Amino acid sequence: MKFDTPATTNPIDQLKVVGQPVDRVDGPLKTTGTAPYAYEHPVPDAAYGHVIGAAIAKGRITSMDLAQARAAPGVLAIVTADNAGKLEKGEHNTATLLGGPEIQHYHQAIALVVAETFEQARAAAHLVHVEYERGRGAFDLAAEKGSSIKPKPGIGGEADTAVGDFASAFAEAPVQLDATYTTPDQTHVMMEPHASIAKWDGDRLTVWTSNQMVAWGTKDLAKTLGIPKENVHLMSPYIGGGFGGKLFLRADVLLAALGARAAKRPVKVALQRALMINNTTHRPATIQRIRLGAAKDGRLTAIGHESWSGDLPGGEPETAVSQTRLLYAGANRMTSMRLAVLDLPEGNALRAPGEAPGMMALEIAMDEMAEKLGMDPVEFRLLNDTQVDPEHPKRPFSQRHLVECLRKGADHFGWAKRTARPGRSRKGRWLTGLGVAAAFCNNLLMKSAARVRLDHRGILTVETDMTDIGTGSYTVIAQTAAETMGLPLDKVVVRLGDSRFPVSCGSGGQWGGNNSSSGVYAACIKLRQAIAKKAGIDEDDAVFSDGHVTAGSKRMTLAELAGESGLAAEDQIEYGDLAERYQQSTFGAHFVEVAVDAFTGETHVRRMLAVCAAGRILNPKTARSQVIGAMTMGVGAALMEGLHVDKRRGFFVNHDLASYEVPVHADIPHQEVIFLDETDPVSSPLKAKGVGELGICGAAAAVANAIYNASGVRVRDYPVTLDKFIDRLPEAA
């Protein structure tokens, strides 16, 4: 089904099921512990694998003594690069998943010990003796910034863009800001570890794994092992969080497959937390320089944003300038991305890649510029709104309600009561302040397919390889199918995360809900056509409701039309050139109140508000859950999250949940989410967009701006920990 014009007669617009805050259909399974996650599938006779990670960040293995480990109780096999056979690199992998003899990064997997029990495998792994020749690596972004390179065009577009004459406009601007901001390396720390079970039947491989993109994982696993793609059956029905860390094939999947082949038994592999942080991907650190020039009336005349990040050879940059290309008006513009080659673990997607760290810098810069102009930060943003893509003025936004988000949020949050002068609102030892930031995240259109089957009981089964990473995919897909087919929700069964099913968009980049549901919609429309034809009625006259199809005086149940053999349809959503004709983005506004201890610098976030404009909200309950989760991650990014690099030995020191700090319940105050009542008929037949990542974009900056408003101390180096401003508090207080 091609979608390139707004739908006219659209069953989704009935809003009997879609748009309602229904409970998660998979909720009972998850709350009772009966939803099987990757490591929990009941596979008979499964052995256990323990992964050994490299103890150096750069260099080579000179020897590996396996004798003691092989002789240990219960050991069935040990897999290394020497006996794994020829392995290719998957399309989506920067690092080699099984290292040796060359080592590319710390905790790169170098061996898997397979034993009868997990404890035996772990004990034997400690008996493997490895000798290394340590090489000289690059681990410090600031030190390597000067030798960074211009990256090739990638998912974030061109490395450099320019409109007008930025240099001249900035030099001539009566009000200028030139500031540098830094964001640290961050890790996903999802609850469920990277885990897999692999089982061979002859030359056919079955894997149960925790993976956001089933089709990508299947293709890359087949390519890496050198076997036909049709010989790989990958299943990922339930995922305990991903945040982008499970977009791609990782070491657990590959080593489980290799271990099962070597042991001639099914094998379970789960990465321990330290290996999750150093072995898998992370959000790279950035150094960002932002220059803004404005007329005295507050209109931006020059916008410049440069970003530096690092990755392994062949990697891609953190696209931190992407939102600056689209968010504010300004005739003269310049953005630039540079990539330093670092020998740290692979840098890659983490919730709102590019936009989350980019907004952390841009939205502080906007606050700083508003202060220089003597303007209210909300009014400054309103003044510089644009309804067209600033770099391509002939391309309009499909919908852009940033102004409405800012105004509604300011009114609801009580922004007018804010004390404009920093450090002047105090109650006892607590300095209080309010902060604001715009929210922005692009809406990506991706082809997505599904299959639907209607049986003689009137039950509709939906099958697609779409995944649910805790976002509510099962629920919004069920709602879409129920609405389109005129069925109650309890007559819809959704099956996800299986490579035998039609290929969906998968989960990531907040593209999952809108695109996968649109693919289901397309399949349901095709099924409606088949039902109408069998009923002998005109499709345009058919009304699907309450498990029946009606046309004039003719009324039949879907169950009887399906008959004993049932009816099925398969289709996919395609968008034509919509992405070229319209800029599709989501918008919002974050408002935060904080209290800062005037003597210790301790910061408490007291309340948060997010106002979101993200098309039709398919399920307000699951969407709110996504946004408040993202806001919570924004608090973490603002106040505590950061991987600490040992710049001599090249690894992340705080590679566990004891030392990588994330917000807990006590850190998170009252959170409120308002969804604007908008639909976007250009985006999809559902008139929806993504929303899962919008909630993190700008949230950290709103916290940082509130800290400045409370204390009068500006921190440009995330996270905003008290050691970075405590020495300036006495004079501010």
3-state secondary structure of 4: coil
The encoded tokens of residue 357 equal 């760290």
Instruction: Report how far residue 389's alpha carbon sits from residue 323's, in angstroms, rounded to the nearest whole number.
Output: 11
Rounded distance, CA 50 to CA 46, Å? 13
Q: Is 522 helix (H, G, I), strand (E, B) or coil?
A: helix
Closest CA to 397 of 308, 469, 325: 325
528: which residues sit within 8 A by CB, 6+ positions away?
Answer: 484, 485, 539, 542, 544
Q: Give the Å distances, CA to CA, from 239 to 31, 33, 375, 630.
A: 14, 13, 46, 17
Number of H helices, E strands in the chain: 18, 31
Cis peptide before 313 (omega within 30 of 0): no
Q: How far apart are CA 301 and CA 311, in angstroms?
A: 33
Within 10 Å of residue 698's Cβ, how many Cβ atoms? 34
Sheet containing strand 195-201, edge to edge, reads: 75-80, 109-115, 47-53, 267-270, 195-201, 204-209, 232-235
Please tell me the distance from the alpha carbon of residue 222 to that of residue 230, in angstroms, as a whole number: 8
Phi and psi (nearest 5°) for 390? -60, -25
Tally of residues, the chain: 733
One-letter amino acid for residue 352 of the chain: A
Q: Which of 232, 247, 237, 231 is nearest to 194 (CA)?
A: 247
Contact indicator for 56, 103 with CB cutoff of 8 Å:
yes
Beta bridge mates, 389 = 392
β-pairing, 426-427 with 300-311? unpaired
- How far apart are the C-alpha atoms of 520 and 498, rounded to whole Å? 15
Task: Confirm if 463 and 471 have CB atoms less than 8 A apart.
Answer: no
Positions marked active-site: 693
Amino acid occupying residue 422: P
**Cα 451 from Cα 461, distance rounded (Å):** 8
628 neighbors 673 (Cβ within 8 angstroms): yes
DSSP string, 75-137: EEEEEETTTS---PPPTT-SS-SS--SEE-STT-EEEEEEESSHHHHHHHHTT-EEEEEEPP-
Distances in Å between the Cα of 98 and the Cα atoms of 109, 246, 362, 501 are 5, 17, 39, 29
Q: What's the CA angle centered on 245, arms 104 and 511, to 5 degrees? A: 135
Backbone angles phi, psi at 551, to 5 degrees: -145, 110
Query: Buried b / exposed e across 355-374, counting CB within 10 Å, b at 16+?
Result: bbbbbbbbbbbbbbbbbebe
Residue type, 459: I
In sequence order, what are the beta bridge partners of 162?
334
CB 588 within 8 A of CB 405: yes
Closest C-alpha to 154, from 311, 373, 380 = 311
Contact 459, 558 (CB under 8 A): no
Q: Is 610 left (phi over 0), alpha (psi -120 to 50) or beta?
A: beta
Cα separation, 18 vs 121, in Å, equals: 49
